Amino acid sequence: MTSSTAAARRRETSWVTDTFGAQITDVTDEPGCRRVSDLVILGLRRNRRRAHLLVSTVLGKHIPVPPSVIRTAADDLGDAVIGVIGEAGNATVVGFAETATGLGHAVADRIAAAVYLHSTRRAAPDVAVHGTFEEGHSHATTHLLQPSSPDLLRSPGPLVLVDDEISTGKTALEAIDALHRLAPREHYVIAALVDMRESAHEAATAETAQRLGIRIDHVSLARGRVTLPDSLIDEVCALDPAKLNPVAAERGQCSVSTVAWPADVPDGGRHGVLRSEARRFAAAVDEVAALARSVVDRQRPLVVIGHEEFMYLPLCIAERLENAGLDVRYQTTTRSPAHVRDVAGYPLRRGFEFTAPEVDSAAHRYLYNVNGTDELPAQVLLVADSPADTDTLRAPGGLIDVLTAAGHDLTVLVVPASRQATLAAARGER
């Protein structure tokens, strides 16, 4: 079955559409645009502010996806950005936590951005916050900006905001307001895999641009609309609770090890990544990927899992393993409590709930699908940064516990997290 045929079949058999009447439609036939329905599938979540969820088929969040598919989508989005900024190499890119932290980094790589930074929901007592903005419909509303120095936000050139989807554009506009107060500039680009805004939302973008005296462009791979029945929230909230944390007849095995990572090389974009650091980042990834290749079973399907915002480095490891000939899919854990339903035409067929491993959080976290076969659960390579390497990670109800209970053989690689102060010193920042 071709990818286009598979996408068409998904559209024809959407359980959410058939059951509740919610649906996705495309609104443009512009050359080069993809169909929204080829990029996202409707899911559900129990949230009185927003009961639907656009589950991406190319992002590697809720659905395990081949790393090459994720990279191609990011490259295409980066090319669209270049189409409006006119040249590569002079932009600052900001990715939105949690979902677009890896996507934003990949876009930054594609356009050779001078600086990449992603927002974060992780607060720490020894980390300075240099800006905030809000995401109203989210389960975790406050975005923190923690660059090694606020000067990283003052680099010249356009600023590109990257998200997996734009529903109303309100979060992006709030981010522009916040960033413009910190470091005014003339040109902003909002880039997303799918753009679902309506005319009123487009008018709000124009009003913000006029008020601030700036230019704001939108780019996406596809544009569409979501039609939701008035009863959707009540109907979704009335559904029976999802059955989570499947248990297999035989528990899987687990090994945990900490890998080497250079202290002066950022492990991701939480404290910023400079273009000048890209080569050393790639070399460090090569070393970790070589270790991963030596400890996994090359003959079995493999799911590489990142942890929440820690998306890009695990994705790069998954890419190396895919290039080495392994059958690899990639996804991450999430803060998002989506509804799980094991029915045809629904994207979240299997789910895990576990205690958040970070010591600064008491909330639960989630993981979906982790596909294998009926006969053989996929082996799992979990790549997490060191703040997630806690007793809670290993305790009953933690991620290791729920995955091995489901029969998955699990290898955990812990990457020492980059420290804000160490990166600032290495960069010669005050």
Mean pLDDT of 299-303: 93
Backbone angles phi, psi at 273, to 5 degrees: -130, 130
pLDDT at 132 over 90: no
Report whether 330 contacts 314 (CB < 8 A): yes
Domains and CATH numbers, the chain: 3-236 (3.40.50.2020), 254-425 (3.40.50)
CA–CA separation, 379 and 268 (whole Å) = 25
Instruction: Give the mean model confidence (pLDDT) for residues 7-31.
Output: 76
Least confident window among 35-49, 101-115, 249-263, 313-327: 35-49
Pairing between β-strand 52-56 and β-strand 40-44 as defined by DSSP bridges? antiparallel
Asked whether the beta carbons of 393 and 238 are under 8 A apart, the reply is: no
pLDDT at 374: 58
Mean pLDDT over the full length of the chain:
91
Q: What share of the chain is helix, strand, coil (3-state, %, to 5)?
A: 35, 25, 40
Task: Give the Cα-Cα-Cα angle 252, 254, 259 (nearest 5 degrees).
Answer: 155
Q: What is each CA distance from 184 to 90, 176, 243, in whole angstroms?
A: 16, 9, 49
For range 75-83, the mean pLDDT: 97
Q: What is the pLDDT of residues 134-188, one digit of tens each?
A: 775 444 578 899 999 999 998 889 999 999 999 999 999 999 999 999 899 999 9
Sole residue written with tokens 């990279």: 71
Q: Is the pLDDT of residue 295 over 90?
A: yes
Can you give the pLDDT at residue 202?
Answer: 93
Q: Helices 312-323 and 278-295 sit at what angle, rounded to 10 degrees?
A: 60
Look at residues 292, 283, 284 and name the one whose alpha carbon lies nearest to residue 318.
292
**Shortest CA distance to 219 belongs to which of 11, 88, 32, 65?**
32
For residue 2, pLDDT over 50 is answered with no
Q: What distances in angstroms separate CA 425 from CA 148, 428, 430, one per listed residue?
A: 9, 5, 8
Is pLDDT of 427 > 60?
Answer: yes
Instruction: State residue 361's pLDDT score.
Output: 62
Residue 9 is predicted with a pLDDT of 40
Confidence of residue 124 (pLDDT cuts 50, 70, 90): confident
Q: Is the peptide bond before 250 cis (omega within 30 degrees of 0)?
A: no
Q: Is the pLDDT of residue 6 over 70?
A: no
Q: How many angstroms separate the CA atoms of 260 and 256, rounded?
A: 14
Q: What percent of the chain has pLDDT over 70?
A: 93
Span 183-233, pLDDT tens digits: 999 999 999 999 999 999 999 999 999 999 999 999 999 999 999 999 999
pLDDT at residue 8 tops 50: no
- 352-390 pLDDT per residue, tens: 999 999 876 668 999 999 976 555 688 999 999 999 999
Nearest to 311 by CA among 356, 342, 268, 249: 268
**What pLDDT, on a 0 to 100 scale, did the predictor assign at position 136?**
55
Q: How far is CA 147 from CA 172, 261, 298, 395, in A?
A: 19, 19, 38, 32
Residue 185: count of CB within 10 angstroms of its CB: 19
For residue 142, the SS3 value is strand
